[in-house]
Amino acid sequence: MLRMSRAMGKKRMFLFTFVLLVLVVLTVSMTGCGTQAKAPEPQAKAPETQAKAPETQAKAPETTGGQGTQAGPQSIQIRGSDSEVNLVQRLAEVFMEENKNVQIAVTGGGSGTGIAALIDGTIDIANSSRPMKEDEINLARKNGIEPVPVRFAVDGVAVIVNAGNPVEALSVTEIGAIFRGEITNWKEVGGEDSPIGLYGRQSNSGTYVFFMETVLKGDYSPQMRNMGGNADIVEAVSADKTGIGYVAIGYVTDGGKVRPGIKPVNVSKNPGETGYSPIILENITGGKYPITRPLYQFLNGKPEGAIKDFIMFELSERGQKIILEQGFYPLTDEDKKFNENSLK
Amino acid sequence: MALAGVCGARRACKDERGSAMHNFKENMIKRFFMLNGLLSIVILLGIFYLLLSRSLPALQEVGLKNFFAPGYWKPTAFATPQYSMLNLIRGTFMVGAGSLLFAVPLGVACATYLAEVAGSREREVLKPIIEILAGIPSVVLGFFGLVVLSPIIAQIFGLNSGINALNGSILVGIMALPTIVSLAEDAISAVPQSYRHASLALGATRWQTILRVILPAALSGIIAASMLGMGRAVGETMTVLMATGNALAKPGSFFDSVRTLSANIAIEMGEVPMGSIHYHSLFFVGLVLFIITFVINLLADIIFQRYREEF
């Protein structure tokens, strides 16, 4: 009451109403977009696309201007791994260029989030940088979903430090001890006398789980900062002279060059051995770099139609070339055999 | 105002005719608004019930004591899971209190300026701008904190990393600012003119009047405003999630990374297997957060009601 009676009252009410109106309009347009979000691009090209789809044409030839709600473009929903999101986005873009009737939406959120969404049946493909756990598979089957794993790329998890850090190489043992919080000063591993700032991911991350199980084999130090994504870790380590973090290899380089402010350390299996850089292809394919992993996609049942086309595109020579361009690595023979088994 | 006056007069004319239809309408409208009021209570109770019922399995399995025992929050531990919420609660209160330390002096000074010093034109410009602050999406503020503010903090205080409780406190303080300014300004404006006149007549300067007469008279409103701001700060999620680093260790100072209750829920809810102990524990975390914000808001209300000066 008080506010209303003041001289400002009318003006503020006007402003308030205005903001409310804007909000309402925004909400309405956004819910409108929600259904269209799957197919924002082909809108302009809709007439052509639909002309190709015989069903739609027969049903409603005059509604070409609107959204193809009936048979329209096929849409594929992909969610999960933050490490994979940019890579899969790029693959999807190239694929959509050539298959205009397919719409692929790729979102991140972490491997755990993607797997949870696959279990709930809300997406078609879950990106995951770790294998599914036993209880996750059981939970999915209980929901009538049969997870089928596909390996589509290889990742070398890079351990990055600030570009100004003199430490060039670390062993897996040392890295484990650093992230468990047992080594807390850089001088213990041949660096300057300064505390170590730990940057890791959050528990919904596949990289977090992978790193914990293969490198730490124990719990992360409670001092570790839990960052939301690979890019956040790169950002934080480039700002912190004492920082160390782990990210998917695709986030270390940009157009073939290491991003400014950070430096991937060379990693050896045991202390005292030669360390190998993760940004050199031969070190990964030759099995010299010790922290590598396949990147997974989980499907619901054997793929069919557009999903199958997309998976085959990823596994094709062209798909693998794009993966290499994006800073990740192509599949090994073992991975290919795994896929044959899985998709058979 | 003139327009409103005309409308008011017209309505008064209609009322004089006093039809039964009109009374009926009036009643229906009254009922409608009462139902709306009740609805919020029903929703509140519903949320409380949901949180309680969902967290019961965790309470049975883990035990209330273990949630508050010394240790860490690590339900997805490599070896043995732990469910201690102590550090999360510490983090929550640090960010909440820190944001108040930042926002209350700034907010009250700002409100005093708006209510006592600024001319009507300045007020007309400033007030909407301050309210726009409330409209900044929290994720944008969080990104700002991560990329811009944290390096500045690191530089000023000579730290290795500015991703810490201080960073989160400042950002959440910015978010709480509009609430505090707007409510504190109302409280200050509510101080009757006669107080000002009396003070000035006794020879006090404007500064003395504001500091010794008006602010003390508006104190209960200012405290209530601050507590409501704190309620907002404690529940804030996205900004804190991005800006504080979310480390699980016990924070020693504002320069340490902290994890708040709300950030913890946001981090883990997306991937937790439904029905697991971890899942139910997160509901318990939510329940504790709910109780904390409820108590803060309740205290704000009590202070406001009890100590309100009746002018």
Predicted-complex ipTM score: 0.79
Q: Does the beta carbon of B97 lie under 8 angstroms from any beta carbon of chain A?
A: no
The residue among B291, B245, B273, B232 whose CA lies nearest residue B89 is B291
SS3 A158: strand
C-beta atoms of A113 and B270 within 8 A: yes
With CA atoms as reference, the chain B residue closest to A224 would be: B247
Tens of pLDDT, residue by residue over A330-343, are 999 999 999 999 98
Q: Please give the structure tokens belonging to residue A54.
A: 């015989």
Predicted confidence (pLDDT) at residue B76 exceeds the cutoff of 80: yes
With CA atoms as reference, the chain B residue closest to A227 would be: B245
Query: In angstroms, what separates the C-alpha of A197 from chain B's closest C-alpha?
Result: 8
Question: Chain B, 265-284: which have a CB under 8 Å from a chain A CB?
Answer: 267-268, 270-274
Q: What is the CATH number of domain A72-154+295-343?
A: 3.40.190.10
Predicted confidence (pLDDT) at residue A180 exceeds the cutoff of 90: yes
Q: DSSP code of A202?
A: -
Q: Does the beta carbon of B122 lie under 8 angstroms from any beta carbon of chain A?
A: no
Question: Looking at the partner chain, which of B146, B160, B242 has a beta carbon nearest the beta carbon of A240?
Answer: B160
With CA atoms as reference, the chain A residue closest to B275 would be: A139
Residue A15 Cα distances to A10, A97, B130, B132, angstroms: 9, 45, 13, 11
Residue pair B166/B254 in contact by the 8 Å Cβ criterion: yes
Residue A43 — very low, low, confident or very high, per pLDDT cuts 50/70/90? very low
SS3 A169: strand
Predicted confidence (pLDDT) at residue A125 exceeds the cutoff of 80: yes
Other CB atoms within 10 A of residue B158 CB? 7
Question: Chain A, 99-118: which have a CB under 8 Å from a chain B CB?
Answer: 109-113, 115-116
β strands within chain B, DSSP E: 73-74, 82-83
Other CB atoms within 10 A of residue B273 CB? 17
Cα-only R_g, chain A: 24
Class of CATH domain B73-306: mainly alpha
Looking at residues B232-245, what average pLDDT do you find? 89
Please report residues of B whose CB lies closer than 8 A to that of A242.
Answer: 160-161
Question: How far apart, in whole angstroms, are the C-alpha atoms of residue B172 and residue B96?
Answer: 8
Q: Which residues of B224-256 are buried (b: 16+ CB within 10 A; e: fewer)?
A: bbbbbbbbbbbbbbbbbbbbbbbbbbbbeebbb
The pLDDT > 90 percentage for chain A reads: 66
Question: Chain A, 222-241: which have a CB under 8 Å from a chain B CB?
Answer: 222-228, 232, 235-236, 239-241
Question: Looking at the partner chain, which of A223, A239, A242 has a beta carbon nearest the beta carbon of B151?
Answer: A239
Tens of pLDDT, residue by residue over B119-154, are 889 989 998 898 888 888 989 999 999 989 999 999
Predicted confidence (pLDDT) at residue A292 exceeds the cutoff of 80: yes
With CA atoms as reference, the chain A residue closest to B76 would be: A203
Predicted confidence (pLDDT) at residue A263 exceeds the cutoff of 70: yes
Q: Does the beta carbon of A15 lie under 8 angstroms from any beta carbon of chain B?
A: yes
Query: In angstroms, what separates the C-alpha of B249 from chain A's closest C-alpha?
Result: 5
Sequence ranges of the domains in chain A? 72-154+295-343, 158-290
Residue pair B216/B275 in contact by the 8 Å Cβ criterion: no
Q: Does the beta carbon of B147 lie under 8 angstroms from any beta carbon of chain A?
A: yes
Q: Please give the structure tokens belonging to residue A197.
A: 């700032």
Kindly give the residue spans of alpha helices, DSSP state H, lying in chain A: 2-5, 9-36, 42-52, 54-59, 82-98, 111-120, 134-142, 172-180, 206-211, 230-239, 281-285, 305-315, 317-325, 333-343
Q: Please give the structure tokens belonging to residue A200.
A: 């890791």
Q: Does the beta carbon of A27 lie under 8 angstroms from any beta carbon of chain B?
A: no
End-to-end CA distance of chain A: 72
Q: Please give the structure tokens belonging to residue A1.
A: 């009451």
Question: How far apart, in whole angstroms, are the C-alpha atoms of residue A285 and residue A283?
Answer: 6
Question: How far apart, in whole angstroms, are the C-alpha atoms of residue A325 and residue A323?
Answer: 5
Decide which of A166 and A37 is more confident: A166
End-to-end CA distance of chain B: 25
Residue A67 — very low, low, confident or very high, per pLDDT cuts 50/70/90? very low
Looking at residues B104-109, what average pLDDT do you find? 94
Res B306: pLDDT:
76
C-beta atoms of A113 and B271 within 8 A: yes
Q: How does strand A74-80 pair with strand A102-109? A: parallel
With CA atoms as reference, the chain A residue closest to B114 would be: A8
Looking at residues B212-240, what average pLDDT do you find? 89
Q: Does the beta carbon of B190 lie under 8 angstroms from any beta carbon of chain A?
A: yes
In terms of Cβ atoms closer than 10 Å to its own Cβ (0-12, 13-18, 19+), residue B144 is middle
Q: Does the beta carbon of A218 lie under 8 angstroms from any beta carbon of chain B?
A: yes
Tens of pLDDT, residue by residue over B21-55, are 888 889 999 999 999 999 999 999 999 999 999 99
C-beta atoms of B249 and A115 within 8 A: no
C-beta atoms of A195 and B160 within 8 A: yes
Res B245: pLDDT:
92
Residue B228 — very low, low, confident or very high, per pLDDT cuts 50/70/90? confident
Question: How far apart, in whole angstroms, are the C-alpha atoms of residue B4 and residue B11?
Answer: 11
Please report residues of B whose CB lies closer than 8 A to that of A240.
Answer: 154, 160-161
Q: What is the dihedral of CA A252, B140, A208, B278, to 10 degrees?
A: -170
Residue pair A90/A326 in contact by the 8 Å Cβ criterion: yes
The residue among A69, A202, A16 whose CA lies nearest residue B241 is A202
A72-154+295-343 and A158-290 in the same fold: yes
Residue A152 — very low, low, confident or very high, per pLDDT cuts 50/70/90? very high
Please report residues of B whose CB lies closer than 8 A to that of A218.
Answer: 78-79
Looking at residues A37-66, what average pLDDT do you find? 37
In terms of Cβ atoms closer than 10 Å to its own Cβ (0-12, 13-18, 19+), residue B57 is middle
With CA atoms as reference, the chain A residue closest to B135 would be: A19
CATH 3.40.50.300 is the classification of domain A158-290: no
Residue pair B210/B111 in contact by the 8 Å Cβ criterion: no
Query: In angstroms, what separates the C-alpha of B191 from chain A's closest C-alpha?
Result: 11
Q: DSSP code of A331?
A: P
Question: Looking at the partner chain, which of B78, B151, B249 has a beta carbon nearest the beta carbon of A216?
Answer: B78
Res B109: pLDDT:
94
Q: Does the beta carbon of B123 lie under 8 angstroms from any beta carbon of chain A?
A: yes
With CA atoms as reference, the chain A residue closest to B153 would be: A239
Query: Which of B242, B269, B271, B278 would best serve as a mutation to test chain A binding (most A beta carbons within 10 A)?
Result: B271
Res A254: pLDDT:
87
Predicted confidence (pLDDT) at residue A184 exceeds the cutoff of 70: yes
The DSSP result for A264-286, as a single string, is EPEEESSTTSPPB-TTSHHHHHT
CB pairs under 8 A between A and B: 112
C-beta atoms of A224 and B135 within 8 A: no
Question: How far apart, in whole angstroms, are the C-alpha atoms of residue A227 and residue B94?
Answer: 19
Please report residues of B whose CB lies closer than 8 A to that of A19.
Answer: 135
Question: How far apart, in whole angstroms, are the C-alpha atoms of residue A203 and residue A207?
Answer: 9
Looking at residues A97-112, what average pLDDT do you find? 92
Predicted confidence (pLDDT) at residue A3 exceeds the cutoff of 80: no
Sequence ranges of the domains in chain B? 73-306
Q: What one-letter code names the amino acid at B285?
A: V
In terms of Cβ atoms closer than 10 Å to its own Cβ (0-12, 13-18, 19+), residue B133 is middle
C-beta atoms of A239 and B245 within 8 A: no
Residue B18 — very low, low, confident or very high, per pLDDT cuts 50/70/90? low
Query: In angstroms, what separates the C-alpha of A108 from chain B's closest C-alpha?
Result: 12
